[in-house]
Amino acid sequence: MHSHAVTYTLLHRRSSRAFFLAPTTQHMESRGVVHEVARALIALAALIGWSGVCLLLGG
C-alpha cells in the first residue's frame, strides 16, 4: 500500500509540473487564436471575392 501512495504522489508531482508550463501554453493558445483570426479573415476575403465574381457574371 505504501508503494501506491508514492506512485500517486509522483503522478501528482508530474501534473503540477505541467501547471508550471501554463504560461507557455497560454502563449501558444494566443498565437493559435491569432492564426485562426487570420484564417477567418482570409476566408472572408475569399467569400467576398467569389461574391464579386458571381455578381459580375450574373449582372
Task: Tell me the pLDDT tens digit for each residue of 1-59.
Answer: 555 555 555 555 555 555 555 555 556 578 889 999 999 999 999 999 999 999 999 98
For CA atoms 15, 19, 24, 27, give the dihedral sign: positive
Q: Is 59 helix (H, G, I), strand (E, B) or coil?
A: coil
Segments making up each domain of the chain, as ranges: 31-59
- Residue the block writes with cell 487564436: 33
CA separation for the pair 51, 59 (Å, rounded)? 12
| Predicted local distance difference test score (pLDDT) of residue 29 | 73
**Apex CA 25: angle with CA 12 and CA 39, to 5°?**
145
Stated pTM of the model: 0.49
| Predicted local distance difference test score (pLDDT) of residue 54 | 96
